[in-house]
Each structure stands twice: as structure tokens, then as C-alpha cells.
Chain A
Amino acid sequence: SQKIEQNSEALNIQEGKTATLTCNYTNYSPAYLQWYRQDPGRGPVFLLLIRENEKEKRKERLKVTFDTTLKQSLFHITASQPADSATYLCALISNFGNEKLTFGTGTRLTIIP
């Protein structure tokens, strides 16, 4: 069955360091992958997307990589700040039946001052 796993439920990182979050998938052929941020009590907010033929995408302090051989995406936040503390969700959409996005379980990131 299709599965999307994010590396850990919670991740604590010192302020100023780079936070790296992992999204692994199995039995899936994604056309592209999206990352969302979710703050407590709020709906998820779209951050970045990367297509299957792209290796890397950047937006300000955010960087996403996509390795279809390893079936993995890495999400990096450089020069992390306490305001980056949130839950981060990856979501995949397939080439086929592309109406649906399937979400991972999320990683709760805390940036420690």
C-alpha cells in the first residue's frame, strides 16, 4: 500500500542552525511534492513545491530536494529562527488520478533560542 513517512514526530534545533526534515514514500509515483506549514489551531499553509524532474528548489531560507531514486524529499530551513517553529507536512500528488494530494504525518519543529 502507498505510504508517506516523515522522519520524526518532533525535532528540536538550536536557533541559527539548519533544520532538515525528511519525507519518504513507498509504492508511489509522484508527479510532484509539496511542503506545507501548520501552526497550532490553524490550517496548513503552502510553502513550496518541487516536480519529479527537479532536483532542488529554493525560496528565501527554504530549500527542498527531491530524489525519486531514493523516494525521498528533504526540506531545509537555514539560519533557523524561533518563528520557524511549527509542524511541517509533505504532500504528494500522482501523475495518475491527480485530483488528490496525500499527506505525510508531519514533523513538529521547535527552534530553541
Chain B
Amino acid sequence: NAGVTQTPKFRILKIGQSMTLQCTQDMNHNYMYWYRQDPGMGLKLIYYSVGAGITDKGEVPNGYNVSRSTTEDFPLRLELAAPSQTSVYFCASRTQGFPGELFFGEGSRLTVL
């Protein structure tokens, strides 16, 4: 099992460009999440999904979009990138029931210049 796989690991974008961060998991988890992590700020939830076709906003969804067409994949779309979106992005998944430990990917470091 590969667990949670994120691509790309690093990316530099210019202001106004768009891109998609890919996330796939092979554990058949229903729940998937996107967090961003800024220095000293902890993990902030961007979007989450409780199953294919169902997504919902977290704390900081502005400037992002997601889709969940399959159980395995949960891509995060950045439209019109801004310097404030410079961050490390983590995708995570878990099973539906309690206690629901999160399994994280290795992260995608994004810089917007």
C-alpha cells in the first residue's frame, strides 16, 4: 500500500496562474481532507469530503476548489494564484468510523511569486 500520495512535491507559480494539486489514496477511505500549513500557524482545513460526490468547505476555502469523483482521488484546484497561497499543502484520509486517525501525504510545497 502506498497510502496517501501527493503530486507535485514542489511547485512555483506566478501570480494569476492556476494549478491542481493531486491526491490519491489506496486505503479505500471514505473521508479525505486538504490542509494548508504555514509557519507557526498549524494545519488549517481547506476542504474535506466524506465520500465520492460529496465535498464541503473547511476554515479557509477561498481561492480553492475541489472535486471527488472517485473514492481514491481528491484533487485541489487553485484558481488565480496569489502570494497568500504560498504554503505547504497536505492531503489526508481516514476511515468513516471512530477513532479516525488521519493518514497524511508527504505534502506539496507551493510558492506563488
Interface hits, A95-111 → B, CB 8 Å: 98-106
Which residue from A42, A45, A49 sits with its C-beta under 8 Å from B99? Answer: A49
Give the residue name and chain of the B residue nearest to A2 (CB): B59
- Contact flag A32-B90 (CB < 8 Å), given A43-B104, A44-B104: no
Q: Quick check: is A113 within 8 A (CB to CB) of the other chain?
A: no
Chain B neighbourhood of A51, CB < 8 A: 99
Q: Quick check: is B74 within 8 A (CB to CB) of the other chain?
A: no
Give the residue name and chain of the A residue nearest to B99 (CB): A49
The reply to whether B107 and A89 contact each other, CB–CB distance below 8 Å, is no
Which residue from A42, A44, A98, A105 sits with its C-beta under 8 Å from B102? Answer: A44
The reply to whether B107 and A99 contact each other, CB–CB distance below 8 Å, is no
- Contact flag A105-B42 (CB < 8 Å), given A43-B90, A43-B105, A99-B50: yes
Min distance, Cβ B48 to any Cβ of chain A, angstroms: 6
Interface residues of B (CB under 8 A from A): 4, 31, 33, 35, 40-45, 48, 50, 56, 58, 90, 92, 98-107
Closest 10 CB pairs of A and B: A43-B104, A105-B42, A46-B101, A103-B43, A49-B99, A103-B42, A44-B104, A43-B106, A43-B90, A43-B105
Interface residues of A (CB under 8 A from B): 4, 9, 31-32, 34, 36, 41-46, 49, 51, 89, 91, 93, 98-106
